[in-house]
Structures are given as C-alpha cells and as structure tokens.
C-alpha cells in the first residue's frame, strides 16, 4: 500500500521541483543512485518500468527506501495499462507515471487515492486528465511537443494546470530557467542528471553534487520567476 497520499506526492514534487527518472536491472546500482539523489536533496524519485523483472527490482528498491529513507517518495514510471498499475500498487508504489492518457489507469489509482500522472500532448488531453483526477500531468518528450513555448500556450487558457516535462530538460541553468519561467511545476530528469559516465565510473559522489547543484538552481529560478 502507498505510504504517501497523492496530495503529499504533489506537494513534494512542487516543493523540490525535480523528479529523477531511472532504471537499471542491478538493484545495487539502483540503491546507490537513490542514495546519491537523496543525499543531494531529492525527495521524489521515479523508477521506470522498463526491463524484464523490473517489478522485482522495484520491490526491493522500495523496501530499501522505506528502511533507509522513510521520507523519500518512490514511484513507478513508464506504465501504460491498468494491469501493470495494479501490480505496482501491490508493491507499494506511491505514484504512477505514464507516457499515455489511459482512463482505466486513472480509475485503478483513484480507488486507492494514489497519484496518477498521465502523459499528455495537447490541451484536450490535459483537460481530460484533470477531469479524471490528475493533479499534475506529464508532457513527453517535452522538447518534441513544443518545449517551454508549449507550456506557456497551455498555461494561458488553463493557468491551474500543473505540468511536469520529461525529455529535453537538462541540468543547465538557462534550460531550467526557460521551463520554470514558462510555468512548469516540476521537471523530470533522467540521463541528463544520471549520466552514462557517472554509472560507468560508479562516481556517485558526482551524482550527489550534480543533484544538489541542480536543485539549488531550480530553487533560485523559482524564487526569481
């Protein structure tokens, strides 16, 4: 069962402004990545449902997080159907992110009051997602649907909408400034934060530093926007 209510998930995303996105089949590497991101200031982390037996890795990672970082909100991403949603709900996911808008997923999550973050590419899809109870929507790949300009366009007629772009978001200050000035609530960040070089060299101290620096930039941008 989820340990965090969907409103707690949304509040943590809004407060920190960044959600790392990561998958690896090796549970020990996953633990090190989570530890580095947590120590760098992250409080919401998205593990992606991408490889064979990903649910088994997630189960172990969630148990590890509960024992070592009880205030870390761990969720699952890249889920596209209701059945897989139910599987991860049984494993205690605190939120479910999808690249698509799938109504039955919303119903499954809403029954448990678990945060559901669907992928949307138009104002029509965003409006439908909000009608189904989404507190925040994902745009992916964010750079392909129009980038910060798309966010600005959406926020005009729909200023209450909360958006989290993934894809096209980097740790660069100018890039982050464009997204947050456009009106995003938070950003999702994968390989731009948790780089192949970091994983190859097992340089998790560097990951902690990059995470801390990125969060500091985000807080500065939010304060000045």
| pLDDT tens string 40-82 | 999 999 999 998 999 999 999 999 999 999 999 999 999 999 9
- Please name every residue paired with 75 in a beta bridge, in sequence order, or none if there are none: 46
| pLDDT tens string 70-128 | 999 999 999 999 999 999 999 999 999 999 999 999 999 999 999 999 999 999 999 99
- Contact call for residues 136 and 128 (beta carbons, < 8 A): no
DSSP 116-152: EE-B-SSHHHHHHHHHTT-SSEEETTTTTTTHHHHHH
Whether the pLDDT of residue 225 is over 80: the answer is no
DSSP 61-110: HHHHHHHH-TT-EEEEE---SHHHHHHHHHTT-SEEE-SS--HHHHHHHH
pLDDT of residue 141: 83
| pLDDT tens string 144-203 | 889 999 999 999 999 999 999 998 899 999 999 999 999 999 999 999 999 999 999 999
The fold for domain 6-220 equals: TIM Barrel (3.20.20)
Q: What does DSSP assign to residue 41? A: T
Q: What does DSSP assign to residue 23? A: -
pLDDT of residue 136: 98
Q: How far is CA 207 from CA 50, 159, 211, in A?
A: 22, 34, 6
């Amino acid at each position: 069962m989820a340990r965090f209510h969907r409103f707690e998930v949304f509040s943590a995303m809004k407060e920190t402004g960044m959600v790392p996105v990561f998958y690896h089949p090796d549970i020990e590497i996953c633990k090190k990545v989570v530890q580095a991101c947590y120590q760098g200031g992250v409080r919401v982390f998205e593990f992606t449902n991408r490889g064979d037996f990903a649910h088994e890795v997630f189960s172990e990672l969630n148990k590890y997080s509960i024992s070592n970082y009880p205030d870390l909100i761990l969720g699952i991403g890249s889920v596209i159907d209701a059945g897989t949603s139910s599987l991860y709900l049984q494993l205690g996911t605190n939120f479910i992110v999808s690249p698509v808008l799938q109504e039955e997923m919303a119903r499954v999550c809403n029954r448990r009051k678990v945060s559901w973050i669907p992928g949307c590419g138009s104002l029509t899809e965003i409006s439908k997602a909000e009608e189904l109870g989404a507190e925040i929507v994902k745009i992916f790949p964010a750079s392909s649907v129009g980038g910060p300009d798309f966010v600005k366009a959406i926020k005009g007629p729909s200023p209450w909408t909360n958006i989290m772009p993934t894809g096209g978001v980097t740790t660069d200050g100018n890039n982050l400034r464009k997204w947050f000035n456009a009106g995003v609530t938070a950003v999702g960040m994968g390989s731009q934060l948790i780089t192949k070089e970091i994983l190859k060299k097992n340089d998790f101290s560097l990951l902690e530093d990059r995470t801390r620096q990125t969060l500091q930039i985000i807080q500065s941008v939010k304060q000045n926007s």
